[in-house]
């Protein structure tokens, strides 16, 4: 039976992203660079809004969480301790005919799926990007681009705990780029070699980890519902033993129903005390916690909810995308949560008539410090509404000739297409209350 997929066509999302400036192919004028993408003006806003929303929910609104922003390059010992040098690899096979390379676990047959040629025996291929620090390219100067942000939370455990005096349980959050030299990539921004993560390391007393694991699984599922994603397009999936990463006691994925089928947007792992124990051993500096109540020291356990920024963004776009029948034509609309919308308010003078210009510019200047706005006076008002619908702008403000007489403007709602007319002096407060 074919796997359940989202009815939204991935091609339509890719096309919308390119046409409207959400996502471009990286280095496009040179023919592009495999699996690398650039976020354009609207994509950059959407991405920023997603990261801000995450930070607000997991750091600002909680008293048991603090954030850091660490370096991408870390001491090479970090990756020895974490197990990434020995264990973070995929089995790679190469076709002796066409020289194409595949992840052995991706292909069923003993021959090349492209040309039928003979395949080499699988060898382990480390997924970390390797480079050299400084001018000498020798083994002593090898460093790696981080394959996950998490290790910075572990190696900074003592710094953060002693400067903030947090008591267990507490978490350290971070948003940042990670790099994995994947053998196979694809499906637009879903699997790329450079990507952005939003990771929490939540430290708990040993023995309470199972209950905190359950708590975070539920909490993180609810987070995506809060992000405006439809409940029926989300599911939790438990990893079986063979799938578990080398450090994990247990793991659940939050999956989204993408056009490519159910796929992970977040993993929630119980990492036990593996990481802090390893870093204590390799660094010689004990990363433990003094429990004042029990008057004893121990190494905390950790629960890790790890979310992908790019995958969340793709899920938000797919989930919000809709084609509706409106006035005998198809209206493409992104029913995106207003808080995430790249443009919050569009200012649309009815026409380019210069009489409308001073008032329109004045309104634009008044709103701009408060909202991300867009000023558009090209083509018919109907076309302009459609353009804003397509990028998910929640409200359009229209200035017409009547406005010059009665000092009132129209606010049009993206979802209902209802319009209300209000005095200009109430515009800012009305919009503010709509967003709060
Ligand atoms: Zn081949």
Question: How many of the other CB atoms lie within 10 Å of CB of 86?
Answer: 12
Bridge-partner residues for 44, per DSSP? none
Ligand 1 centroid distance, CA of 110 (Å): 11
How much distance in Å is there from the Cα of 125 to the middle of ligand 1? 19
The strand pair at 142-144 and 130-132 is best described as: antiparallel
Q: Supply the pTM of this predicted model.
A: 0.94
Residues whose Cβ atom is located within 5 A of ion ligand 1: 95, 97-98, 112, 114-115, 117
24 CA from centroid of ligand 1 (Å): 30
Q: What is the rounded CA–CA span in Å between residue 312 and residue 46?
A: 10
CA of 184 to the centre of ligand 1 (A): 15
Model confidence at 3, pLDDT cuts 50, 70, 90, reads low
H/E element, 365:
helix 357-367
Under 8 Å between Cβ of 169 and 213: no
Residue 75 has pLDDT above 70, yes or no: yes
For ligand 1, the distance from its centroid to the CA atom of residue 121, given in whole angstroms, is 14
Return the domain boundaries, the chain.
Answer: 10-66+144-317, 343-435
Fold of 343-435: Rossmann fold (3.40.50)
pLDDT confidence of residue 411 = 98
Distance 112 CA to ligand 1 centre (A): 5
Q: Find the 102 Cα to ligand 1 centroid distance in Å.
A: 10
User: How far away, in angstroms, is 187 Cα from ligand 1 center?
Assistant: 22
How long a stretch of residues is the chain? 436
CATH superfamily, domain at 10-66+144-317: Bira Bifunctional Protein; Domain 2 (3.30.930.10)
Give 315-340 pLDDT, tens digit per residue.
Answer: 999 999 999 988 788 999 999 999 99
Per DSSP, the residues of 36-101 read -EEE-HHHHHHHHHHHHHHHIIIIIT-SSEEE----SB--HHHHHHHTHHHH-EEEEEEBTTT--E
CA–centroid distance, 122 to ligand 1, in Å, is 15
Average pLDDT of every residue of the chain = 94
Q: How many angstroms separate the alpha carbon of residue 107 from the centre of ligand 1? A: 12
Positive/negative CA dihedral, 318, 320, 325, 329: negative
- What does the pLDDT read at residue 106? 81
Question: Positive or negative, the Cα torsion across 195, 200, 206, 208?
Answer: negative
In tens, the pLDDT along 119-148 reads: 998 888 899 999 999 988 888 899 999 999
**How far apart are the C-alpha atoms of 144 and 89, rounded to whole Å?**
14
Q: How far is the CA of 35 from the centre of ligand 1 (A)?
A: 21
Q: Is the pLDDT of residue 152 over 70?
A: yes
**C-alpha 219, offset from chain centre:** 17
Ligand 1: distance of its center to the CA of 120 in Å? 11
CB atoms within 10 A of CB 203: 26
CA 65 / ligand 1 centre spacing (Å) = 50
Assess contact for 203 and 302: CB atoms under 8 A.
yes
Centroid of ligand 1 to alpha carbon of 119 (angstroms):
8
């Amino acid at each position: 039976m074919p796997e359940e997929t989202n009815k939204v066509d991935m091609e339509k999302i890719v096309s919308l992203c390119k046409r409207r400036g959400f996502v471009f192919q990286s280095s496009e004028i040179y023919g592009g660079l495999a699996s690398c993408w650039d976020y354009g003006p609207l994509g950059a806003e959407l991405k920023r809004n997603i990261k801000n929303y995450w930070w607000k929910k997991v750091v600002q609104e909680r008293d048991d969480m603090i954030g850091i922003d660490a370096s991408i390059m870390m001491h090479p010992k970090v990756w020895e301790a974490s197990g990434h040098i020995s264990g973070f690899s995929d089995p790679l096979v190469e076709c002796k005919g066409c020289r194409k390379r595949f992840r052995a676990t991706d292909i069923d047959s003993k021959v090349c799926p492209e040309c039928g040629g003979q395949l080499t025996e699988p060898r382990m291929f480390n997924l970390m990007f390797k480079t050299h620090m400084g001018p000498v390219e020798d083994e002593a100067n090898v460093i790696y681009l981080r394959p996950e942000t998490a290790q910075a939370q572990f190696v900074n455990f003592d710094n953060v705990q002693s400067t903030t005096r947090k008591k267990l349980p507490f978490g350290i959050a971070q948003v940042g780029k990670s790099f994995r030299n994947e053998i196979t990539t694809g499906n637009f921004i879903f699997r790329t070699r450079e990507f952005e993560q939003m990771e929490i390391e939540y430290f708990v007393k040993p023995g309470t980890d199972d209950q905190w694991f359950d708590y975070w699984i539920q909490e993180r599922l609810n987070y995506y519902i809060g992000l405006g994603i439809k409940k029926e397009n989300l599911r939790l999936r438990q990893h079986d033993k063979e799938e578990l990463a080398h450090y994990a006691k247990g793991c659940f994925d939050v999956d989204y129903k993408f056009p490519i089928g159910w796929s992970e947007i977040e993993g929630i792992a119980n990492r036990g005390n593996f990481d802090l124990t390893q870093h204590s051993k390799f660094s010689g500096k004990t990363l433990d916690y003094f429990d004042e109540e029990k008057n004893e020291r121990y190494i905390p356990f950790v629960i890790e909810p790890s979310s992908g920024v790019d995958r969340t963004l793709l899920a938000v776009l797919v989930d919000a995308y809709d084609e509706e029948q409106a006035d005998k034509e198809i209206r493409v609309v992104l029913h995106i949560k207003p808080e995430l919308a790249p443009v919050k308010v569009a200012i649309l003078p009815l026409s380019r008539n210069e009489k409308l210009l001073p008032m329109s510019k004045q309104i634009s200047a008044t709103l701009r410090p408060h909202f991300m706005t867009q000023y558009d006076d090209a083509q018919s008002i109907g076309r302009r509404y459609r353009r804003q619908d397509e990028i998910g702008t929640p409200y359009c403000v229209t200035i017409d000739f009547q406005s010059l007489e009665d000092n009132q403007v129209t606010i049009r709602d993206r979802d209902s297409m209802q319009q209300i007319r209000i005095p200009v002096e109430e515009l800012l407060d009305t919009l503010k209350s709509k967003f709060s």
